[in-house]
Amino acid sequence: MGRVYGHVPGEPEGTHYPSRAALSQAGVHRPLRSGVCGDALGGAASVVLSGGYEDDEDQGDVIVYTGQGGRDGASGRQVADQTLVRGSGALERSRALGRPVRVVRGRGLRSPFAPSAGYRYDGLYR
């Protein structure tokens, strides 16, 4: 099956997954490590918020997602401007197309909206 934009049939909002592998198998977020699933041509299909970027902000219905790139691996902080390639390019393309992106929150996210275990599909965001 190719990349699915929007809801994945049979995977409703609020569904919990024990692992990234389970997310991938369900088709909710295919990459096992990357936080963004997509490309600069078609846009982003999904993102996983799991605490990998210290600068991410989760306000429930508003998310400030750092994107991909420019991150210092030791501190997790952004140390360089990102370019609109790879995952960041995919997010920009979705914005330009008006295409919503599936959001998954993981237990590692420092947020009151994060699940206590595993990962949870929390719906479509723009």
Q: What's the confidence (pLDDT) of residue 83? A: 61
What does residue 45 show for φ and ψ, rounded to 5 degrees?
Answer: -90, -35
Mean pLDDT within 70-90: 73
Q: How confident is the model at residue 122 (pLDDT cuts 50, 70, 90)?
A: very high
CB atoms within 10 A of CB 45: 25
Q: What is the pTM of this model?
A: 0.87
Cβ burial, residue 62 (10 Å; 0-12/13-18/19+)? exposed
Quick: pLDDT tens for 39-56.
888 999 999 998 776 778
